[in-house]
């Protein structure tokens, strides 16, 4: 088997999740390539060396450009703050290397457009980390919709809320900057928009409202100095889909009690299905003629599940979803698959988010193709 060298940029939560996913993928799946953890980069050279050693990477770099230039690296995985996605991805594409970038793709639609065009010109595989849609239960939901089990789809109601910014004394971070694509819509809502497109299809029109609830936050933990906040704490939007369905989406990082509440209900003329990421191993479905919802549990008959557990109801978790995303990426790199969100599809999500911001700002319905 040919070798596939992985270069990982970033050592935070998502960097660790990527490292786990690449290690897990080569353990639980029979892959058509020999995955090698070639290099890891972080601005903190000492941390890069420490994480490279702990996570199994052969080389450590204190400069991300050195990683891209490393001849042993075939795929560049980017897990840095959002404003660094563009320069890193563009440099990797210029070097002719495949790119696996966390979401959102970029901090502006202009950057996202340049990235998708560069990827198209380079002719390499690209993927963006919308890992929730790699859940076997989400794949099942899409199969049910495509098979017509719900009839004609008429509505999508979705929410992605967490509470990690609910405390007004939570300090400012890069997620609070417009220039870093901060805010609840970019941080959480982009996952929901990608999910709506994946399950129901393209969206043609949006109308929206957004709000900054906490207008300032401490500059750092415990600081008395306050910094102004200009990004959205919560967003609500109405959607019109190409297929005629109507929808709503909302996103907030202020809703106490929610930790990973990526949820939706999809209704059709013959039934409704419902999902909540906090109970990620189950779907609820109510078919025409039934009095109540039926609970469907994840199990080994679903693609991907059996690689981790031979028994139903034994639960997959967040890192398993990331592993499934990485497995599909590796298959695409081997020319044996096309699943996942590439730069073109991620640009469409960014365009949709831009249209929602425009609709909220201008207080009107916006055609997505205006953007």
Q: pLDDT, tens digit, for every residue of 188-228?
A: 999 999 999 999 999 999 999 999 999 999 999 999 999 99
DSSP letter for each residue of 27-80: HHS--SSEEEEEEEE-SSHHHHHHHHHHHT-SEEESSHHHHHH-TT-SEEEE-S
pLDDT for residue 181 is more than 90: no
**What's the rounded mean pLDDT across residues 128-141?**
97
CATH 3.30.360.10 domain residues, the chain: 132-317+341-370
Q: What does the block give as tokens for 204?
A: 């043609």
| Residue 195, token pair as written in the block | 């999910």
Q: Is 145 helix (H, G, I), strand (E, B) or coil?
A: helix
Q: Beta-carbon neighbour count of residue 44 at 10 Å?
A: 11
CA 364 to chain CA centroid, nearest Å = 28
Which two three-digit tokens encode residue 192?
């929901």
Question: Buried b vs exposed e over 220-239: b needs ≥16 C-beta within 10 Å?
Answer: eeeeeeeeebebbbbbbbbb
Fold classification of 132-317+341-370 is Dihydrodipicolinate Reductase; domain 2 (3.30.360)
Lookup result for tokens 């297929």 = 243
161-165 average pLDDT score: 97
Topology of domain 3-131, CATH: Rossmann fold (3.40.50)
Q: Which residues pair with 205 in a beta bridge?
A: 240, 367
Write out pLDDT tens, residues 260-302: 999 999 999 999 999 999 999 999 999 999 999 999 999 999 9
- In the chain, where does the domain assigned CATH 3.40.50.720 lie? 3-131
Share the mean pLDDT of the chain: 96
**What three-state secondary structure class fits 254?**
coil
Specify whether the CB–CB gap between 38 and 56 falls below 8 A: no
Ramachandran angles phi, psi of 300, nearest 5°: -70, -10
* Whether 185 contacts 194, CB under 8 Å: no
pLDDT digits (tens, 9 = 90+) for 53-101: 999 999 999 999 999 999 999 999 999 999 999 999 999 999 999 999 9
């Amino acid at each position: 088997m040919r070798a596939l060298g992985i270069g990982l940029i970033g050592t935070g939560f998502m960097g660790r999740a990527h490292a786990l996913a690449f290690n897990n993928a080569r353990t639980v799946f029979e892959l058509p390539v020999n995955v090698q953890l070639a290099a890891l980069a972080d601005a903190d050279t000492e941390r890069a060396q420490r994480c490279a050693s702990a996570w199994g990477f052969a080389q450590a770099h204190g400069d991300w450009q050195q990683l891209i230039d490393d001849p042993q690296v075939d795929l560049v995985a980017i897990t840095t703050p959002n404003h660094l996605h563009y320069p890193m991805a563009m440099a990797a594409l210029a070097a002719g290397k495949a790119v696996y970038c966390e979401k959102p793709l970029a901090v502006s639609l202009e950057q996202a457009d340049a990235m998708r065009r560069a990827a198209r010109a380079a002719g390499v595989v690209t993927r963006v980390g919308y890992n929730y849609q790699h859940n076997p239960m989400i794949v099942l939901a899409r199969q049910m919709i495509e098979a017509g089990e719900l009839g004609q789809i008429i509505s999508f109601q979705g929410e992605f809320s967490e509470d990690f910014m609910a405390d007004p004394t939570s300090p400012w971070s890069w997620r609070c900057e417009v220039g870093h694509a901060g805010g609840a819509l970019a941080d959480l809502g982009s996952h929901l928009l990608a999910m709506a497109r994946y399950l129901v299809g393209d969206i043609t029109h949006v109308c929206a409202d957004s709000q900054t609830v906490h207008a300032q936050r401490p500059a750092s933990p415990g600081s008395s100095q306050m910094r102004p906040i200009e990004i959205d704490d919560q967003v609500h939007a109405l959607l019109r889909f190409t297929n005629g369905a109507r929808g709503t989406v909302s996103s907030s990082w202020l809703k106490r009690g929610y930790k990973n509440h990526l949820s939706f209900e999809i209704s059709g003329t013959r039934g409704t299905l419902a999902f909540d990421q906090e109970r990620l191993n189950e779907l609820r479905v109510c078919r025409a003629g039934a009095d109540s919802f039926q609970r469907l549990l994840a199990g080994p008959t679903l693609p991907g599940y059996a690689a981790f557990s031979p028994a139903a109801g034994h639960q997959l978790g967040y890192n398993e979803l990331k592993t499934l995303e990485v497995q599909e990426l590796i298959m695409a790199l081997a020319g044996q698959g096309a699943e996942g969100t590439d730069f073109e599809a991620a640009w469409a999500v960014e365009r949709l988010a831009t249209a929602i911001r425009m609709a909220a700002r201008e207080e009107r319905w916006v055609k997505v193709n205006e953007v």
